[in-house]
Amino acid sequence: MWNSILSWDRPFFGQLDQLRHDLDSLFSETGFSDIRSAPRGSFPLINVGESTDEVRVYVFAPGMNPDDLDVNLQNNVLSIQGRRSAEPGQQADKGMYHRRERFDGEFARAVSLPETVDPDAVEANFKDGVLTVTVKKRAEVQPRRIKVKARK
């Protein structure tokens, strides 16, 4: 393999391109899409936050259409599935990519939520490429303010 990469009859940048291609092929077998990217399945990126009365999940899906997202909550597991495809003009129809970091294809992410969430009190909103899923906590687990009465 290395002898074919470092043959002196090809231009230097052609050799580097071949080396990059061979390394990308090697890493594709390990679950990474190429040597420079995050593991497959890490799209979309997710942040999860919690307050006293709700849990919020932020799903970062720029360029996605909200109709292409499928969001489900079952047994305290929030799952997000969908498909992202290349836009016209972003495909290398006449040639090859020199670098490709945008993921195309189907994806699925799952997030375990605390036992305190109410599966009947879920709201999902999509704005500026960010899906925000808000799940209220059950009333019985939320802090309850107790009024203190003055005695005479």
In the block, which residue shows the tokens 């940048």?
Answer: 13
CATH architecture, range 41-86+100-139 = Sandwich (2.60)
pLDDT (mean) for 7-26: 68
pLDDT tens-digit map of 28-38: 655 544 444 44
Mean pLDDT of the chain: 79
- Out of 17-26, 30-39, 47-56, 60-69, pick the least confident: 30-39
**Predicted confidence (pLDDT) at residue 115 exceeds the cutoff of 60:** yes
In the block, which residue shows the tokens 């499928």?
Answer: 70
Strand ranges (DSSP E) for the chain? 45-50, 54-60, 69-74, 77-84, 105-112, 117-127, 130-137
**Predicted confidence (pLDDT) at residue 26 exceeds the cutoff of 80:** no
Domain ranges of the chain: 1-40, 41-86+100-139
pLDDT recorded at residue 88? 54
In the block, which residue shows the tokens 């002898």?
Answer: 3
pLDDT recorded at residue 13? 67
Q: Which residue has the higher pLDDT, 65 or 26?
A: 65
Confidence of residue 126 (pLDDT cuts 50, 70, 90): very high
pLDDT recorded at residue 83? 87
**Residues 144 and 53 sit within 8 Å (Cβ to Cβ):** no
Question: Cα-flanking dihedrals φ and ψ of residue 24, to 5°?
Answer: -60, -40
- Distant-in-sequence, close-in-space partners of 104: CB < 8 Å, separation ≥ 6: 84, 85, 86
pLDDT recorded at residue 27? 61
* Two structure tokens written together for 59: 């799903």
pLDDT (mean) for 118-130: 95
On the question of a cis peptide bond just before residue 39, with omega within 30 degrees of 0, the verdict is: no
**Residues 80 and 145 sit within 8 Å (Cβ to Cβ):** no
Question: Which residues make beta-bridge pairs with 77?
Answer: 74, 112
pLDDT tens-digit map of 75-114: 999 999 998 876 655 555 566 777 777 767 888 889 999 9
